[in-house]
Amino acid sequence: MSIYIASDHRGIKLKEFLINKLKENHNIIVSQIPNQEEDDYPDFAFDVCLNMSKENDFAILICGNGIGISIAANKVKGIRCARVVSKDDAIASRAHNHANSISIPATIDEEEAYEICMAFINTIPSNEDRHVRRVNKIKLFENGEYNEL
């Protein structure tokens, strides 16, 4: 399992903090797209999400408010990215929605961001029928196979 991480220009400081904390115990892969004074969050989301294993890896994405980069990430087939601002969000997104990516706002406290990331990484997806059924519907829809509406 690898953890991919990327940010736009607004999240560089938080990204560097998280890389330094997470690299002690995890294989970290950083987006190779260089940050510029005014760059575009979709580029970072697409770079990370296209390259990661959707089944085995995680992504941590950072932009100003965490929303734009999550929208871009969710356009990549196989990505389930949740914008999270708390440990509870991180746990629920992983357990209930089997998220493989999270996005966080660049303005969040660094230590809180680290705790959120660790909660996400350490949470096991739920095997409860209702959660599995819902995630499977998302996967089927994404593949053009869900037509039960």
**List 9, 26, 96, 131, catalytic entry:** 96
63 is catalytic: yes
- At 42 the three-state DSSP class reads helix
**List 63, 81, 98, 117, catalytic entry:** 63
96 is catalytic: yes
Task: Mention every residue, 6+ apart, whose C-beta is less than 8 A from residue 28.
Answer: 2, 3, 4, 5, 19, 22
Name the pairing type of β-strands 58-63 and 101-105. Answer: parallel
Catalytic residue annotation: 63, 96
